[in-house]
Amino acid sequence: MNRVKVDLEERSYPIMVGDGLLQQTGDLFNRLGFSRPPVVISNPRVLRLHGRPLLQSLERRFGPISVIRIRDGERFKNQVSLQHVYDELFRAGADRKSWLIAFGGGVVGDLAGFAAATFMRGIPYVNVPTTLLAQVDSSIGGKVGINVRQGKNLIGVFHQPSAVVTDTAVLSTLPSRELASGLFEVVKCAAIRSETLLRYLERRLPEIQSCQPHALEYVVLESCRIKAEVVSRDEREGKHRMILNYGHTVGHALEAATHYRKFTHGEAVAWGMLAALQFGNELGMLGSDQGDRLARLIRRVEELPALSGISFQALWRALSHDKKFGSARIRMILLPRLGSSRICDDIDRAQLKRFLKNFLKQHH
């Protein structure tokens, strides 16, 4: 088992990464100081595939465990599911001293984390992420919340977990497209922060894709290290943390313009990285040899759904109306070289517009 620390003073917490950790969760959480039985929040699919080792381990240590089920899928990360979680928490007799386990992918983590943040002014929760995307990204950093009809993640808070327990063994049941989606975030981590991880991915991609324990553990651990380090420097996304948004300016716009149906999150980010690479090259930021190297790796992870059928107007509207940022400026993360990133605040709108129009046409 490997440990990474997210260093946030009194809100610091460990990320534990290992093959087969689910069977040890009872002891792990007990050693972290939890003594009452937790309430587990999960979805039916995850419980069916991986519920037994987790629940057995917890029950051995804590006695009978309450489980709250929410429906699977991003569209259920909403107010109705949240209310359901509250109701079930009351029904289970939860109080200020209760604690929750978010056991699932990003939807479960975001929703359970938000429930924990707001139940009786905040109770602790821990993440036990079961998708690669959640393991390397959403389970770390305390961004929790729900979607509303006005957009994704618009209602939420920062509420750091008390621990993250990441069992890489569960990834073997992941559909390959979901594994790829997570791998694109791993590639992103490497691109912005670690040429070493990038080289490892280039060399060992087949082993990772076939879920060989050692290779999976390595890339998950390294990605967690990078995310933890960034979050430790900037808990509330003052500025530095934005580098994690590499590929996300265009990626988010692609997701929104296609109503979150055409691409997985990772695929949209992959397209976003390809666009950022090419745009950065146009700005003289990154040599095309290096750009090509990263693009080749992205292409090897998965054949991306084409950009055909996406209107430039819809894409541009989504990109420039990203309400969260409260400014007319467009921000992009660009790479001065592989393994290093820069936050670019004053992207020339006209230039980006021209570029994206071409980019869409190119990849039609």
Residues that bind a copy of itself (CB under 8 A): 79, 83, 86-87, 90, 93, 95-98, 117-122, 143, 145, 148, 150, 154-158, 236, 323-327
**185 included as an active-site residue:** yes
Q: Which H helix or E strand runs over 5? A: strand 2-6
Nearest approach, Cβ of residue 204 and a copy of itself (Å)? 36
Reply yes or no on whether 236 is catalytic.
no
Which of residues 309 and 326 has its CB atom nearest to a copy of itself in the complex?
Answer: 326
- From the candidates 50, 61, 241, 255, which is the catalytic residue? 241
363 is catalytic: no
Triad 169, 174, 175: Cα angle to 5°: 155
Q: Give whichever of 143 and 188 is closer to a copy of itself, judged by the CB atom.
A: 143
Nearest to 85 by CA among 59, 65, 113: 113
121 carries an active-site annotation: yes
Task: Choose between 110 and 217: whose C-beta lies nearer to a copy of itself.
Answer: 110
Local structure of 348: helix, strand or coil = coil
For residue 16, give the nearest of 27, 2, 28 by alpha carbon: 2
Half-sphere exposure of 352 (CA within 13 A, CB side): 23
The dihedrals phi and psi of 239, each to the nearest 5 degrees, come to: -160, -60
Annotated catalytic, 248? Answer: yes
CB of 79 to a copy of itself, least distance (A): 7
What is the spatial distance between Cα 352 and Cα 345, in angstroms, rounded to a whole number?
13
Note if 262 is an active site residue: no
The answer to whether residue 241 is catalytic is yes
Least separation in angstroms between CB 139 and a copy of itself: 17
Whole-angstrom distance, CA of residue 104 vs CA of residue 360: 34
Output the smallest distance, CB 150 to a copy of itself, in A: 5
Rounded CA separation 260/24 (Å): 36
Q: Coil, strand, or helix at residue 163? A: strand
Measured from the CB atom, the residue of 61 and 241 that comes closer to a copy of itself is 241
Q: Is 265 a catalytic residue?
A: yes
Nearer to a copy of itself, 48 or 240 (CB): 240
The least CB distance from residue 168 to a copy of itself, in Å, is 29
- How far is residue 260's CA from residue 76's CA, in Å, rounded to a whole number? 13
Question: Which residue among the candidates 193, 248, 255, 302 is catalytic per the annotation?
Answer: 248
Q: Which residues are catalytic?
A: 121, 143, 185, 227, 237, 241, 245, 248, 252, 265
